[in-house]
Chain A
Amino acid sequence: MDLGLDVTEHGATTVLAVRGEVDVYTAPRLREKLVELVSQGKHNIVVDLEAVDFLDSTGLGVLVGGLKRLRSHDGDLSLVCTQHRILKVFEITGLTKVFAIHDSVDAAVAG
């Protein structure tokens, strides 16, 4: 099971595109990548979930942890997601009120 993590810079914003399945096995890699980006001084991060096939509560936890870490640096973490089945997980857990969720990377970068 592969987890793809691609980082691109868009001005002052860093976009982390995630691909594949995020679960208890792969989520630690997502966490490590977010920690690494923050330690490099990237404090405005957009996590693009458009190519994610599966996301469970472990993945949600990593994103919540990432947001907390970035807020402590006066930064932010927002999401790109239009897939119904992934959005549903955020809706059920109430996390749509915690994360800014955008339709596209462009919209997310524009804030």
Chain B
Amino acid sequence: MDDAAEPVIELEIPARAEYVGLARLVVSSLASARRALADDRLDDLKLAVSEACTNAIEAHVDRAVDDRVMVRWSERGDRLEVRIEDRGAGFDPSQLPEHPPVTDPERLNFERGLGIPLIRTLVDDVAFDPSESGTSVRITMFCGPAGDVDGDSSDD
């Protein structure tokens, strides 16, 4: 992982809920200033970053660590990458419980666990890298105004 030559913008936020809004504002403003994404894709990135920061902050709260959550922005060729790094217990998305189908009345017992499926759907690529020292979530968006990557259904 050689990203020494890559220009990176870093934002450190205190692990408190009130800073999630700031993180998504900074990331969406950067994407907007760079004209990197069409408006609807910018909304997708904003929501995905918000979800990832929410998880990171909750991971710190759960573990009662004071460390800040790191948000790193970088651009490489035709893609932009946002990494959200926390010092929580290490989150493995494959351990998430399955939700019952939406038509099942039991579905109403699940108020949580929607963030990860949202991130996976909204962005072009996401990688979760949990370790004992925390979790790194790497979100990738391919740039370009149209934003219709192959396989996307956009007919609505």
- A residues neighboring B (CB under 8 Å): 1, 21, 23-25, 54, 56-58, 60-62, 64-65, 67-68, 71, 84-85, 89, 92-95, 97-98
Q: Complex Cα distance A71/B107, Å?
A: 13
Distance (whole angstroms) from the CB of A68 to the closest CB of chain B = 4
| A95 in contact with B54 given A54-B46, A57-B118, A85-B40 (CB within 8 Å) | no
Among candidates A25, A64, A71, A85, residue contacting B111 with C-beta atoms closer than 8 Å:
A64
Distance (whole angstroms) from the CB of B122 to the closest CB of chain A = 7
List CB contacts (< 8 Å) of B14-44 with chain A. 17-18, 20-21, 24, 40, 43
Chain B interface: which size bin? 20 to 34
Q: Is the CB of B108 within 8 A of A98?
A: yes
Q: Is the CB of B20 within 8 A of A23?
A: yes
Which 5 residue pairs spanning A and B have beta carbons closest together?
A61-B111, A57-B114, A94-B102, A68-B108, A25-B17
Distance (whole angstroms) from the CB of A101 to the closest CB of chain B = 13
Q: At the interface, is chain A mostly helix, strand, loop or mixed?
A: helix
Q: Complex Cα distance A84/B58, Å?
A: 29
Q: Is the CB of B20 within 8 A of A25?
A: yes
Distance (whole angstroms) from the CB of B115 to the closest CB of chain A = 4
Which residues of chain A are near B103, meaning CB under 8 Å? 97
Q: Is the CB of B47 within 8 A of A89?
A: yes
Interface pairs (24), CB distance under 8 Å? A21-B21, A23-B50, A23-B54, A24-B17, A24-B54, A24-B57, A25-B18, A25-B21, A54-B24, A57-B112, A57-B115, A61-B111, A62-B111, A64-B107, A68-B109, A84-B40, A92-B118, A92-B122, A93-B114, A93-B118, A95-B102, A97-B102, A98-B102, A98-B108
Among candidates A56, A85, A95, residue contacting B51 with C-beta atoms closer than 8 Å:
A56
